[in-house]
């Protein structure tokens, strides 16, 4: 697969209003701080040229979605941006090459793990194997495989990932352990509750404790609950102890006693 071998002499200056977006091609979901980029463009202009393929008298964007969004916002606010630099696509370019370029030419905000996975999925649609994709971008095959797992996330898990409530690596682990979307949602909802109880801002592996691991402490939980019931502790506090114990993965009786005393 050859690169889009444009030269500096190919650079054009065009009206940004003549550039359109094919949303079916665009993989961007998270645009980051567009306001900061917009102010930079207003003050200093577009430093990194866009890329696009010709479409009649205009262009369809193939690289520079954040820049074009920032430009469009500036125009709506009344700022004058008459011309922007763009590299036109060379003749004979294919959709397969365009998709690869989404990663190759990305020089701004890095693609999210899900956005990257979308690129890999599209390349597989063109007949590329995971090993081919890994070699193309200098990644391992397991990296490509794991990224593709993210496309099997439930919508709720995807929202948590986009909000930075969970790392991509842990989201991948959840998808592997719980392929069913409804199960993913239950696991993550429980993890969020545990996360909040211990004052954290992001779900950790300790908040997503597999059932087998939890069963090791079942007896400890049961004994603790019986002690608390004997002291007329509310059901709400009992449930809190269970959640905290699971999230902290306490291994010693004294750990549990300390938690109980803190809640009682």
152 close to 175: Cβ distance less than 8 angstroms: yes
Per residue in 27-58, pLDDT tens? 998 888 899 999 999 999 999 999 999 999 99
63 close to 51: Cβ distance less than 8 angstroms: yes
- Whole-number average pLDDT of the chain: 84
Least confident stretch, 11-20, 82-91, 106-115: 106-115
d(CA 82, CA 13): 9
CATH numbers and ranges of domains, the chain: 8-93 (3.90.1530.10), 153-208 (no CATH), 212-263 (no CATH)
Per residue in 126-183, pLDDT tens? 999 999 999 999 999 999 999 999 999 999 999 999 889 999 999 999 999 999 999 9
What pLDDT is attached to residue 226? Answer: 63
d(CA 245, CA 259): 8
CB-count burial class (<10 Å; 0-12, 13-18, 19+) for 163: exposed
d(CA 73, CA 35): 9
The 10 Å CB-count burial string (b at 16+, else e) for 67-102 is bbbbbbbbeeeeeebeebebbbbeeeeeeebbbbbb
CB-count burial class (<10 Å; 0-12, 13-18, 19+) for 2: exposed
- Paired tokens of 131: 């090993």
Percent of the chain exceeding pLDDT 90 equals 60
CB neighbourhood size of 177 (10 A): 13
Residue with tokens 């469009």: 72
């Amino acid at each position: 697969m050859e690169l889009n071998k444009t030269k500096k002499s190919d650079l054009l200056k065009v009206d940004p209003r003549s550039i359109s977006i094919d949303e079916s091609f665009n993989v961007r979901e998270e645009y980051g701080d567009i306001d900061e980029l917009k102010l930079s463009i207003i003050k200093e202009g577009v430093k990194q040229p866009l890329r696009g393929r010709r479409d009649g008298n205009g262009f369809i964007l193939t690289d520079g979605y954040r820049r074009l969004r920032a430009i469009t916002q500036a125009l709506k606010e009344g700022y004058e941006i008459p011309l922007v630099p763009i590299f036109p696509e060379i003749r004979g370019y294919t959709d397969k090459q365009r998709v690869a370029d989404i990663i190759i030419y990305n020089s701004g905000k890095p693609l999210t793990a899900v956005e990257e996975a979308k690129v890999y999925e599209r390349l597989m649609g063109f007949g590329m194997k995971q090993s081919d994709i890994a070699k193309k971008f200098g990644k391992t095959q397991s990296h490509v495989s794991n990224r593709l797992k993210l496309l099997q996330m439930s919508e709720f898990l995807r929202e948590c990932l986009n909000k930075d409530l969970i790392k991509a690596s842990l989201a991948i682990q959840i998808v592997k352990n719980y392929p069913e979307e409804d199960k993913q949602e239950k696991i993550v909802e429980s993890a969020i509750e545990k996360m909040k109880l211990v004052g954290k801002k992001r779900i950790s592996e300790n908040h997503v404790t597999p059932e087998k691991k939890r069963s090791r402490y079942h007896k400890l939980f049961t004994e603790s609950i019986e002690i608390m019931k004997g002291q007329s502790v509310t059901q709400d506090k009992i449930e809190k102890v269970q959640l905290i114990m699971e999230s902290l993965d306490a291994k010693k009786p004294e750990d549990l006693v300390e938690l109980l005393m803190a809640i009682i």
